[in-house]
A and B are shown apart, each in its own frame.
Chain A
Amino acid sequence: MNKFWIIFSHTYLEKVKSKTFLITTALLLLTVAAAANFQTIAGFFSGEDEERDKIAIIDNSDLLFGPYKQSVESANDSLELIPFTDLEEAGKTAVQEEKYAALVVMDMDADALPEATYFANNITDSSTQADLEEQLQYMKVAMSIEQAGFDEQAVQEIYAPVNFETVALDEDAKTLEEMFQAQGIIYVMLFFMYMVVILYGQMIAQDVANEKSSRVMEILISSASPVTHMFAKIFGVALVGLTQILLLVGVGYALISSRKEELVGSFLDTVGLVDIPVDLVIYAIIFFLLGYTLYATLAAMLGSLVSRSEDVGQLLMPMIILIVIAFLVAMYGLGAPESRIVTISSFIPFFTPMVMILRIGMLNLPLWEIGLSIAILIVSIIILGLIGARVYKGGVLMYGRTGSLKDFTKAIRLSKKEK
């Protein structure tokens, strides 16, 4: 056990002291700080003082400009409509010279309804174009209705939104609001899990492969058993990850709570970070740790099969594909948490961590389902750990060309007691 701690602390300290760790952590902290101050930064770039896009309007009917200007500017406050009194050709030149963002020529058609032509240097800025078109459409509809003889009262009633309430009859079912909130939290959790597993899985495999390719492994495993070594490495890297995550969460939390008033109601509400249910957080931590251990064991095993550290990526491919599939199933499940594929895959160990947490967050699952999936996950970790230890023991002594599944059997055979 003593040797476990020596390898564990060595792995942790060397990683935490490394330049890579310091740089990535600093970058991540900057990102968090930037995200927390997103509104200020965004405000800085598109500040109040910035000039609004000027749209030149030639209104040949002389009737449309007033109401059109009002409706467009209230719909999109970054646009300013200015009457253009010169000829159309002069207007086009002005747009080309970038005095105006666009030119709209309006008129009434034969039925006394509005029509318009939109000129711009390019028509990729579709939001401006869409806003202009949409507002003109409203005007046209209103005019048509008026021409048809409806009174204004009736028109307003037509436009008033319908009263549509949703009531869940099952008392345990989550309300629509809770659903949206859960979706937000789970999205963040899933993405987080995905990133962490890939990042730290790769770190473990790379570390094992480096020790193997620098041949220091043979000395290491002559002083401590490969199994001790493997698990000390897995948990050492886990602690590195935890350190990084705690730093990020701590800094993020401090920043957010210091500006809570400003942020509430915008960004935080949309992702549902205001009040996260405690049980969901606990489950997330459980599944996160178990998922990490499962994938880390797999990564260590794959890393032990590589003889040159350049080959790590190639051998990690199957693992990455598994994670991506799990992530995709979970993403699909965000929209359809009760579908069969989601239910089934929440019990497949490699998918469980992501898919089960999604189901827990979105549905009201009976406790036995959660318990069962945790049990399956733990059993698979133990089985994978045992196989991994065998492969590891043989793999670290195996040199030569690698990159195929044949190496698994070769490694296991090398670590076997009897032929």
Chain B
Amino acid sequence: MTLIIDHVTKRFGEFTAVNQLNLTIPKEEVFGFLGGNGAGKTTTFRMLLGLLDKTEGEITWNGETIDYNTSNLIGYLPEERGLYPKLTVKNQITYLAKLRGMEKKEILPELEKWLDRFKVPEYMNKKIEELSKGNQQKIQFISAVIHQPELLVLDEPFSGLDPINVEMLKEAVLDLKDQGTTIVFSSHQMSHVEELCQYLCILQKGRPVVQGALREIKRSFGKKNLRINADFSLEFLAEFPGVVKYRRVNDGCDLQILNEDVSQDIFRELQGKGFIRKFELEEPSLNDIFIEKVGASYE
């Protein structure tokens, strides 16, 4: 039960949107796609769903190619939200769920359950155009998961939501994972990816620049973050051997250092210079890795 993306390339004429992408996404895990605009995330998802044909390569789910025979096993939340503005929530979800192979009598109880969970049971008979954007997104999310897909593809699921709704949706995603759904999602926001994913891939111009398990990626990145709060000036650390980046903060500095050993050199150097309030060695954040690999901040 794994999703295998095997040497997949997609070209639009001269332009290569996805270049030799090679990924194995384990079952019942949450897999994050990171990347700037035009990095190839949506194109990859569309190929994965069979909406676009691959120029080269193969994508399989449980060893089978994904096409319209397997579409009942798959749930999809597109980046561009889309629902019929004139239909009621009930009609809308009924239609879309039927298209995913659900029976009419299964749909209503399931929909009620989800609306209750998202604390909007009163929307059952409302038209989509009467709902706020955030609430439309909840309905869209329900349409992607109501048929309990084995594989769930979420393209930017959290964009445009307020923090409370983001939490609600995250919880739903983690619950689905516990129930055995394999989830692939993309995001601009590093914090979401760090919280939800065990595995991830950073795409740049259609190529994966980093991929693997989150913990592994952080460990192999090597560089660490060091935070020091002290009562004396730390300016001299900017020139200290092994310090990659120096950033002054309110009562001290944030450093990025080449490896763990550098922190011990600094620790010794600081001995006897004065009062040290904080000396903390941290794992690099995903944002650091992203900036390093992609070369630009993204948020």
Contact = CB atoms under 8 A, between A and B. Distances in A.
Interface centre among A14, A219, A222, A225 (most CB of B within 10 A): A222
Contacts of B80: 215, 218
Interface in B200-257: none
A221 B51 contact: yes
Chain A contact residues: over half helix, strand or loop, or mixed?
A: helix
A113 B180 CA distance: 109
Interface centre among B12, B50, B82, B85 (most CB of A within 10 A): B82
B126 interface: no
A214 B84 contact: yes
A414 B43 CA distance: 12
A6 B78 contact: no
A314 B38 CA distance: 31
Interface centre among A211, A215, A414, A417 (most CB of B within 10 A): A215
Interface in B47-104: 49-53, 55, 68, 71-72, 74, 76, 78, 80-85, 87, 95-96, 98-100
Contacts of B52: 397, 414
Nearest to B67: A225
B100 A223 contact: yes
A220 interface: yes
Contacts of B13: 413, 419
A415 B51 CA distance: 9
Given A413-B12, A414-B52, A416-B53, A223 B96 contact: yes
A23 to B, nearest CB: 15
A218 B11 contact: no
Interface string B111-142: 00000000000000000000000000000000
B74 A218 contact: no
B46 interface: yes
Given A218-B51, A397-B46, A224 B78 contact: no
B263 interface: no
B190 to A, nearest CB: 26
Contacts, number: 65
Contacts of A220: 96, 99
A160 interface: no
Contacts of B76: 218-219, 222
Interface residues of A, number: 27
B143 interface: yes
Nearest to B96: A219
A217 interface: yes
Contacts of A282: none
Contacts of B82: 214-219
Contacts of A3: 68, 99
Interface string A213-256: 01111111111110010000000000000000000000000000
A3 B89 CA distance: 20
B14 to A, nearest CB: 9
Contacts of B55: 418-419
Contacts of B53: 415-417
Nearest to B77: A219
Contacts of A418: 55
A218 B45 CA distance: 12
A10 interface: yes
Interface string A14-57: 10000000000000000000000000000000000000000000
Contacts of A6: 95, 98-99
A7 interface: yes
Contact of B143 (A219, A414, A416, A417): A219
Nearest to B54: A417
Contacts of B98: 6
Given A6-B98, A214-B83, A418-B55, A222 B11 contact: no
A397 B84 CA distance: 17
Interface in A95-112: none
Contacts of A215: 78, 80-82
Interface of A: 3, 6-7, 10, 14, 211, 214-225, 228, 397, 413-419
Given A3-B99, A223-B71, 13 more contacts: A10-B95, A211-B84, A215-B81, A216-B82, A218-B82, A223-B96, A224-B71, A397-B46, A397-B51, A413-B13, A414-B12, A414-B52, A416-B53
Interface of B: 11-13, 46, 49-53, 55, 68, 71-72, 74, 76, 78, 80-85, 87, 95-96, 98-100, 143
15 contacts: A3-B68, A6-B98, A6-B99, A7-B99, A215-B78, A216-B82, A218-B78, A219-B96, A222-B50, A224-B68, A228-B68, A397-B51, A397-B52, A414-B52, A418-B55
